[in-house]
Structure 1
């Protein structure tokens, strides 16, 4: 595959769904002018995220969106040939999920419901129960949402399912218990970058990490969108403010080069690992 242009967005999105969709369409149109092939938007781009991790206000939760509703239809139409990942609160069979979809002008290509739930998030959302990769015009992709990337098994499952690109969509805040005076010094800021690099390097894949910025309720989001190569190297990055991390990369060439001598997925010793829960 020839080089593609990938981009991860750091931006703020609030509760107003119509405003968010219009903003996303504008971002996609600008990305198209820049020749972007894969655009990864933050978690909860449509309708925003909860305002308190420990005690979310269940009377004022983010609005829900249907996967076949007009919001995603409008975004898909704007995407055209571009592959776009975007997060929202999904309504399905009476439950609410923190969900990401990957779509293009052809419709939804893949869907992921956040599996791992920190603190009191289970009061606001039901949990997903699977990780699966899927094919797209830019290659085989897997998605993670927020806390999912804290767990190595999440990205490893996607890589074993053939994902060459992992899109990690986040609404990742600064520490709620020990917030630093400056975001770059915050513990969660360091962890966010560490997980991005580790998940890419240990699986030898490209990781495209987006995040919210600004404030929602009691949460202050970190930004720090980035593109990470299969050796864990940061190829492009924003900082705490909004922006786009963008780079051109030949996905297959870079992954194949990273796996030339050391091929982590093939060299696993599953006979030495726990086969059942300890």
Structure 2
């Protein structure tokens, strides 16, 4: 499996050229599951203060998604885009193979002024794929433990979180690798994998777009919270090989975090998670 950190902008042909290169490289490495960043079809917002223009809005069954499917071929590919539906725009991620769409998620949690550009999604659901049951999140969703836990309780064995996670705007570090938002990005990835004992693929934008500087750092995290592969902040493709079922069984053999829950003791406000 592989997770990508790469820059994507408004030019759709440039986006597809980059995706074609990445899917080709992944296929050559024997990758079966490839996670591309949030908004890799048309770019993210230029700022988080209310980007009036925003990325191009695409139909969930439109030609761009069909083109993504053709590039995916026999791989499972997760990719973020701006979805148009019934006059609303959503920050969405789709999971495809050459045979069709396997799953879809609309971002639920919206930071700062993102809600002026997108409507919010309303739930989390896992779905079956040829490599196991998979769930998807987008960026800020992973800051909320309930998001990943909802997927784990729905049977997700692999969670793909696609992001356009930026560096700090108020106190940026001279070295992006030392930025406090880079640290948070890494910490959330490891914590969500460990607490739910799932395989975690984290893709992210890299480089800059508009006012934003993205932290890169795509990674694959095992169900024990260990980082199996990670890109630098500059970007790249993190690739790891593992037997998902064996990794989950080993992680859950003695300490089963889902098995050992006591939902009857938890506050009703957290919905029994």
Residue 277 (structure 1) shift: 6.2
Residues 139-185 of structure 1, C-alpha deviation per residue, up to 9 Å, x if partnerless?
Answer: 11000100000000000000000000000100000012221111111
| The one of 244, 248, 273 aligned to 2:266 | 273
Task: Please list, as runs of the form range in 1=range in 2, the aligned pairs for 1:126-137 lying within 5 A after superposition.
Answer: 126-137=119-130
- 1:49 alignment partner, SS class: coil
Question: Is there any run of 5+ residues in structure 1 with no aligned partner, and where?
Answer: 1-5
4+ long deviations beyond 2 Å: none
Q: Does 1:56 align with 2:47?
A: no
| The one of 190, 194, 208 aligned to 2:201 | 208
| The one of 220, 230, 234 aligned to 1:237 | 230
Q: Does 1:30 align with 2:25?
A: yes
Task: Please list, as runs of the form range in 1=range in 2, the aligned pairs for 1:147-166 lying within 5 A after superposition.
Answer: 147-166=140-159
Task: Please list, as runs of the form range in 1=range in 2, the aligned pairs for 1:152-191 lying within 5 A after superposition.
Answer: 152-191=145-184
| The one of 84, 95, 98 aligned to 1:91 | 84
- 1:249 alignment partner, SS class: coil
Given that residues 21 and 71 in structure 1 are in contact (C-alpha distance below 8 angstroms), is that contact kept between their aligned partners in structure 2?
no
- 1:135 alignment partner, SS class: strand
- 2:201 alignment partner, SS class: strand
Task: Output the TM-score relative to the length of structure 1.
Answer: 0.95
| The one of 35, 58, 61 aligned to 1:40 | 35
Residue 96 (structure 1) shift: 0.4
Residues 46-101 of structure 1, C-alpha deviation per residue, up to 9 Å, x if partnerless?
Answer: 00000111x1221x211111111111111111211100000000000000000000
Counterpart-to-counterpart distance in 2, 1:166 and 1:209: 8
Q: Does 1:14 align with 2:16?
A: no
Residue 202 (structure 1) shift: 0.1
- 2:240 alignment partner, SS class: strand
- 2:241 alignment partner, SS class: strand
Counterpart-to-counterpart distance in 2, 1:73 and 1:277: 38
Q: Give the aligned partner of residue 263 of structure 1.
A: 256
RMSD: 1.1
Q: Give the aligned partner of residue 122 of structure 1.
A: 115
Counterpart-to-counterpart distance in 1, 2:153 and 2:246: 18
Q: Give the aligned partner of residue 3 of structure 1.
A: none
Question: Is there any run of 5+ residues in structure 2 with no aligned partner, and where?
Answer: none
Task: Output the TM-score relative to the length of structure 2.
Answer: 0.97
Counterpart-to-counterpart distance in 1, 2:183 and 2:14: 32
